[in-house]
Structure 1
């Protein structure tokens, strides 16, 4: 039976709960709980009587990303880079680097405007991690902090960060994927101050808005972004590649001790004659429409090529003089591409046939008007050589139309053109399979752009900035946030065996929550606040510990 017992130690009275029992037939006691002094017992009683308010915030994702940023001293790198401009500016308790890191974490977890940052931050553990008050971080706070970052320092900050990531992760950089995209903005046409936003062909279909271009280089194996450049929205891919190539290749060579092992992989949009002249260590594609004779030869000699994945493709290999240099040429057949092109041709043919039926064989129009309409109908891709027509006019002036399709041309397209992709490289020592796999790895850059346009994670929009300097800093924060997320996903896969994508990883980590317990005693002064991590399952707990997603509760 339990009982309360008083005892003294060093002249101080303490209390404890004990219970009696017999040991070897002799009575003895065991201590159930030490209650301490009288004051301690009173305090314990008062705590039990005090009401407690409980709320919870998301902690896992922001803690993991914050830990990564601290591991690579991201805020410190930014602050040290801009310090020569007159010292590090501190606003609302945060340096410029810390403010940018907070914005990067927000961009990775929940893309939104700077004005909406405070509302989001209040629902997370980030203010406790970084030591700021959420309501203090207004849009003006971020604009003031971003304004302190010179554009010409961004490349050096990015280079230093990527170099450290390559060293810590022990990356073996070999094949690098290069690609470009654009992002539309809502900057008014009457605002002539920024030069980056310009009108051009928008890949998201918003041709009515001004846009900015983004060039990105990623490592094919890890999909980690290595370097980027923001440029004018009206600049073509070919001009962008030419301006981007020399400085970027120099920066990329500094990332590895074996620069000759680096191979740049890019698509046909940048492979002009001028860009390929003098270029070394690359894999790219050529436009099939400019090399029909080569496709005629290659289509008859396609042979099976086994890939490292166990799959098999049909390909042909040879050599040709490209841009004044003899290069290795690989023509590879893609059933998926062939199927898509055949389907697109069938849709174009069906649409043209409907228009021809509406026109009729005896249209009530002039001879020249009939020819113009027929040429417009044949203006779709491949139809100019596939659809043939003859227009006559009889003695009464009636127009008569005869239309037919070139069956031989259709067979040529289906058997010796569709589904074929031309690849070239100066890596003569590579096998055909290596060349094909290197080019297919270029999709890593395309995947990065899909993430950077994902409205649920990492999206570059919204970007409510109206000067070139702010737009450059905004793009830097978006790409750096993508680097942190990609690195976090890589570690989750390697250390915890995680198999989901990065979007799912962030969502699962965000479900790890911290409870805020506020004790209301009725006394003067601030109430006591305690934090406690909610219970999580064992599997998620192991992954969270590996990624540092469990905040240190003090």
Structure 2
């Protein structure tokens, strides 16, 4: 049963609610809740049933974002570069960036929607600001005060701060590119927004490209570059290669034995020549199987299982046949002898074979329709050239070569005839590529397993890009900005949000909380604070709701806890 229990400490009474029960036949205290001093009890008694008004605000997620900012100080970096206005009536430029970063970390909204969003949060308690001052009009005015060079300086200082904060130890870096579409009108002037091959398939829209360099061990972004949407990856890499290498050296603080992991889109004679000119920089890149058929025709008995975490899990599940394997050789590429590793993934091969068979059936169905049109001598189906062109278009739409079927077109004195059959030799050669990937590196002394694992870790930067395209967190795309200067500011904001979310995940992992930053933010969004207005009291009282188990673990990772509705040091 429950009862009030009094304890005397230094002559003052303190009260508890105790719940007792019989355990093993003896009365024991099974639960105890601290109530406070007599004054606190009087306040609680007065408080009960005398609430004039309540206001519930989103608290936990904003608290997390602000805790990361206090450790990094991004707003201060911006103000250091741009300068802070002496008038304190409005936020500084750095604070404008920061409020946008917070929103991107939690629930990405347009600048027009920011004031309303912040009104429902505890921002006045965490980092006070007039929500009305965060309108899109104010953002455009403030962001006009920082130019491209200023943004470069801010990014450089930020990445240096991140490298020092986490003590970057990785000697391997991951580099990749992506693009983000925008609904910018065709007649709007822009050097960045151009039409190109969009990775979401929206080739009719203008797009902006972003290149990203990430440390392999810490998974932190340490360099980025926005670029024109129609520029090829290899040409971009050629232009920024010196900057990328400088970033790698500066972040680690060493010039010995650094490796950059690339995608095959960056391969070119010029780029590899530049990489070879650096004595301290090595590379691991992928290579197209279309240009090295001799490498993928190797018999399966030459492949050896690679030591990876996923392979270990598959072995524990009794799925040894699904494990990734590889074989190693050497070859001359880009004018020098390189190490070549060919990997084979049975799971990927199975998926590719399944999709390939479906596409082959679609080609066959199209060929039957074409054959019928030719037989019936329909208009536009009486010319060899036109029929052959239509067959090639069908293959191109399915991203398949046009030699998988042999199409025979013959013309006699009266009409055109068409026959077709599968080219089993070319089909089998094409199937041999499934599940296989070619890696080329100048790290001649690296073990095969290390080369494969480093290449597999390219998923880290790809994962960052996927996060940047998430509808809720970061949400760099679609770009709803119509000038290059605002696009650059928006991209920097999203890169900072990515970095902060990564730091959050690192902090949680170090505390033994193995969840993603996205899940942490989702959980903390449900931790609210409540403003309580009581009669005859001018200022409201702020209380924080009781955290659940996961929320308590997240707070503990930052050395905090909530007790009696108040945030305290753990």
Matched, 1:332 2:343: yes
1:46 offset after TM fit, Å?
A: 7.5
Deviation string for 1:389-412 (max 9, x for gaps)?
A: 2223345x1332221112222222
Q: Is the 8 A contact 2:106 2:521 kept in 1?
A: yes
Question: What's 1:27 paired with?
Answer: none
Question: What's 1:239 paired with?
Answer: 235
522, 542, 561: which one aligns with 1:531: 542
Deviation string for 1:368-409 (max 9, x for gaps)?
A: 2444444444555444222112223345x1332221112222
Q: Is the 8 A contact 2:151 2:489 kept in 1?
A: yes
Change (3 A) 1:150 1:319: same
Moved more, 241-250 or 342-351: 342-351
Deviation string for 1:17-48 (max 9, x for gaps)?
A: 99xxxxxxxxxxxxx97569xxx99x999867
Question: What's 1:424 paired with?
Answer: 440
1:82 offset after TM fit, Å?
A: 1.4
Q: Is the 8 A contact 1:363 1:370 kept in 2?
A: no
Q: Which has the higher contact order (CA 8 A, sep 6+)?
A: 1
1:164 offset after TM fit, Å?
A: 2.6
Indicate the RMSD between aligned Cα atoms, in angstroms: 2.9
Matched, 1:224 2:220: yes
- Distance (whole Å) between structure 2 residues aligned to residue 449 and residue 459 of structure 1: 10
Question: What's 1:412 paired with?
Answer: 429
Q: Is the 8 A contact 1:82 1:150 kept in 2?
A: no
- Distance (whole Å) between structure 1 residues aligned to residue 223 and residue 337 of structure 2: 30
Matched, 1:64 2:79: no
Q: Is the 8 A contact 2:51 2:532 kept in 1?
A: no
Change (3 A) 1:35 1:131: closer
Q: Is the 8 A contact 2:180 2:479 kept in 1?
A: no
- Distance (whole Å) between structure 2 residues aligned to residue 491 and residue 307 of structure 1: 28
- Distance (whole Å) between structure 2 residues aligned to residue 372 and residue 125 of structure 1: 63
- Distance (whole Å) between structure 2 residues aligned to residue 383 and residue 209 of structure 1: 27
Q: Is the 8 A contact 2:183 2:478 kept in 1?
A: no
271, 277, 283: which one aligns with 1:275: 271
Question: What's 1:109 paired with?
Answer: 106
Matched, 1:402 2:403: no
Matched, 1:142 2:139: yes
Q: Secondary structure at the match of 1:116?
A: helix
1:485 offset after TM fit, Å?
A: 0.8
1:476 offset after TM fit, Å?
A: 0.5
Q: Secondary structure at the match of 2:402?
A: helix
1:337 offset after TM fit, Å?
A: 3.1
1:349 offset after TM fit, Å?
A: 1.4
- Distance (whole Å) between structure 1 residues aligned to residue 446 and residue 45 of structure 2: 77
1:238 offset after TM fit, Å?
A: 1.0
1:308 offset after TM fit, Å?
A: 3.8
- Distance (whole Å) between structure 2 residues aligned to residue 145 and residue 549 of structure 1: 35
Change (3 A) 1:458 1:317: same
Q: Secondary structure at the match of 2:251?
A: coil
Q: Mapping of 1:124-523 within 5 angstroms?
A: 124-192=121-189, 194-279=190-275, 280-296=281-297, 298-299=298-299, 302-309=302-309, 311=311, 312-360=323-371, 362-364=375-377, 365-368=381-384, 369-377=386-394, 379=396, 381-395=399-413, 397-415=414-432, 417-461=433-477, 463-495=479-511, 497-521=512-536
Aligned residues: 511
- Distance (whole Å) between structure 2 residues aligned to residue 95 and residue 512 of structure 1: 29
Change (3 A) 1:91 1:463: farther
Deviation string for 1:482-515 (max 9, x for gaps)?
A: 10011001111111x2222221110111111111
Question: What's 1:23 paired with?
Answer: none
Q: Is the 8 A contact 1:516 1:532 kept in 2?
A: yes
Change (3 A) 1:427 1:326: same
TM-score, scaled relative to structure 2: 0.83
Deviation string for 1:328-383 (max 9, x for gaps)?
A: 11111122332233223212211111122223363424252444444444555444
TM-score, scaled relative to structure 1: 0.85
- Distance (whole Å) between structure 2 residues aligned to residue 338 and residue 452 of structure 1: 29
- Distance (whole Å) between structure 2 residues aligned to residue 63 and residue 314 of structure 1: 46
Change (3 A) 1:33 1:445: closer
